Structure 1
Amino acid sequence: MARRSRTVQSRTAAGDAPEAEPSPPPDEPSTVEPGLGFEKWMGFLSSFVAPLTLVTALLFYFGYVSTREFFRYFGVDVDIIGLSTQEFVMRSPGALFIPVMVLMLLAAGAIVGHRVLRRRLGERPRTTQRRVIAAIAWTGIGFLLAGLVSAFLLPVLGDWVWGQLLTPLFLALGAGLTAYAASTVRALGGANVSRAVVVLLVLVMVAGTFWSTATVAQWWGLGQARSLASDLSTLPAVVLDTTERLYPGNDDISFQQLGDGPPAEGDAGAAATFGYRYFGLRLLAQGGGRLYLVPDAWSPDASTIVVPYDDVRVRFRFIPDADPPTS
């Protein structure tokens, strides 16, 4: 034991100190993990969109928004027509074609841009990474501020039609850029950004996208109504018999008092039940036990006539085939 202790003391005296730890390497470009925040958030959102019930609910909502705007142009509240959920869903694709295609193209471009940016950032030093992320973050903050200002100005500038679309787009774009910058900082191990902040920004982006899509659906419904009003000949023509005199207030709608002249074929007993016959009407919609009729030509002073089934007699004349088959 004494000999062994002398050996240890001699080595210590001779200066045999333990090996020193290697010095840290100089500042090198940090590597970025390939599967970072953006794909995670895209997967997070797609997990909510996937269920069939949610997809059906979205189709119903956008179909309802566009249909409501369509019938409001003709002065009809869509809620009293009694359309079914399936009818609203069937009316939604036209309003969603453009927004869905644009969103898919933007998502594809964002995924490609994300991968390129992350690869380039991984090859740059920390200072360059901070500058790029700061530029993205401040751009997003700028869009957020523009969207907030526009949102507060919307009630004042009621005639500013484009504000109804630009406001949600600014909010969605700003929140998306800011959330991307925050998630990139977390992925690079920089400042400690709370995950709750990123989640809230993503929710703002989703809400802004939803809002802007609803605005496009409203414009679609209004455009369809104006297109139809310019040529109502595509609707079935209606001959209406009523027991009481109507006053539609439109010169395109003419009436005939039954019983004044010889009855037409098949109308021998009509004069006993119905006293008036109206021409120049088109069937806009039917539902809830009512007919919604519009004049042949729509004008600013035109209005929709609502009559119940039980009190009238209706004969339809549908559109003739413009290109009938040849025998």
Structure 2
Amino acid sequence: MTSPPPDPATALGRFGQVAGSVAQVVAPLSVLTALLFYFGYASSRARYLYFGVDVDTIGLSTQDYVMRSPEPLLTPLLVLALLAVVVAVVHERVHRRVQAALTEAKDADPKVAATGRQRVQRGSRRARAVVLAGDALLLVGVLLLLAFPLWGDWAYYTLVTPLLMAAGTGLALYGRRIARSLEPGQPPSGLVTVVLSVLLVVSVFWATATFAEWSGRGAAREVARHLDRLPAVILDTTERLNLTSYGVRESALPPNEGQTFRYRYRDLRLLIQGEDRLFLVPETWDASNSTLVVPMDDSVRLQFRFVNDPP
């Protein structure tokens, strides 16, 4: 016996279920990849700009930026994790007190109910105080945002402003939530909650991006303090480079038949390898130094020296 053909409607429904499941997995992964790419790009851009190199000229791939993102994101993620633990502990205690106060307020004993109502009123006042504190911090952050033409040159502006706005929106959201739980008849403010939530996400994103830039610049300074830790390179060229960087030694190669390379440069270090070029820096840092861009073709010859550490 031959089985009846599958119902097109059933097959279409199953396909829709599978597509929905795939979309639920792919969409978060795409967002996560985009975030990792952005923070890796922000950190790398600040890092190589310290050496005078625009990161877009290096030719790093999306995977390269994603792989470089954990370093600048480690500290913000640890801080957010610790804050989440603190908020969870505080919320658990507050929730227990709120439930206890609401239970007492509904007790059959008038004295117990009166005590419970007093506790509910005190909790409501404290919740409103938290909301006011959050609104004040948020207002200070907004004022700093509007004062960018005056305060934009402040070194900590791009970190203090989003942190104030994030703290303010977080306190305002939590205070409103506790107030609603203590006053069940209070109408919900859905629009305010959505706006504050979006503002919280944007502020955290801004602060994290700022820290990623600072992390890249700090990593660049650490590399500049120890340029001797980078791979050592000996560069041979067909033409004289007339380098202005301090500390790079130039010597003429002896002329030989068939020899196309005429000059040799020592005391260079490999900063990073791009898609089709190398970025070299002098072995010692100096304010007058510059980054040398070398194409990976037959016009140059490179030798990478062993590390001075006998096995």
Bucket of the pairwise TM-score, normalised by the shorter protein: 0.7 to 0.9
Residue 74 of structure 2 is aligned to residue 106 of structure 1: no
Residue 205 of structure 2 is aligned to residue 207 of structure 1: no
Aligned-residue RMSD, C-alpha: 2.2
Shift of 1:190: 4.3
Trace 1:156-171 onto structure 2 (pairs within 5 A): 156-171=150-165
Residue 275 of structure 2 is aligned to residue 288 of structure 1: yes
Shift of 1:50: 9.1
Residue 112 of structure 2 is aligned to residue 117 of structure 1: no
Amino acid at match of 2:169: A
Residue equivalent to 1:149: 143
Amino acid at match of 1:250: S
Task: Give the Cα separation in 1 of the matches to 2:247 and 2:219.
Answer: 22
Task: Give the Cα separation in 2 of the matches to 1:193 and 1:49.
Answer: 33
Task: Give the Cα separation in 2 of the matches to 1:299 and 1:109.
Answer: 46
TM-score under structure 1 length normalisation? 0.76
Shift of 1:181: 2.2
Residue 296 of structure 2 is aligned to residue 319 of structure 1: no
Shift of 1:290: 1.2
Work out which of the two has the higher radius of gyration on C-alpha atoms and give 1 or 2. 1
Match of 1:247 among 204, 224, 242: 242
Unaligned runs of 5+ in 2: 1-23, 102-115
Count of matched residue pairs = 269
Match of 2:125 among 107, 131, 138: 131
Indicate conservation of the 8 Å contact 1:182/1:193, yes or no.
no
Residue equivalent to 1:197: 192
SS in 2 for 1:51: helix
Task: Give the Cα separation in 2 of the matches to 1:84 and 1:320.
Answer: 32
Unaligned runs of 5+ in 1: 1-46, 261-267
Shift of 1:252: 0.4
Residues 132-175 of structure 1, C-alpha deviations (whole Å, 9 max, x = no match)? 12101100011101111222334423442222111101111111
Indicate conservation of the 8 Å contact 1:242/1:276, yes or no.
yes
Identity percentage of aligned residues: 46
SS in 2 for 1:108: helix
Residue 226 of structure 2 is aligned to residue 238 of structure 1: no
Match of 2:67 among 66, 85, 90: 90
- C-alpha change, 1:50 and 1:288, in structure 2 (3 Å) is closer
Match of 1:229 among 224, 228, 243: 224
Residues 74-104 of structure 1, C-alpha deviations (whole Å, 9 max, x = no match)? 0101111111222212211111111101101
Task: Give the Cα separation in 1 of the matches to 2:163 and 2:43.
Answer: 19
- C-alpha change, 1:75 and 1:269, in structure 2 (3 Å) is farther
Indicate conservation of the 8 Å contact 1:80/1:288, yes or no.
no
Residue equivalent to 1:72: 49
TM-score under structure 2 length normalisation? 0.80
SS in 1 for 2:273: strand
Instruction: Judging by fraction of residues, say which structure has more helix.
Output: 2
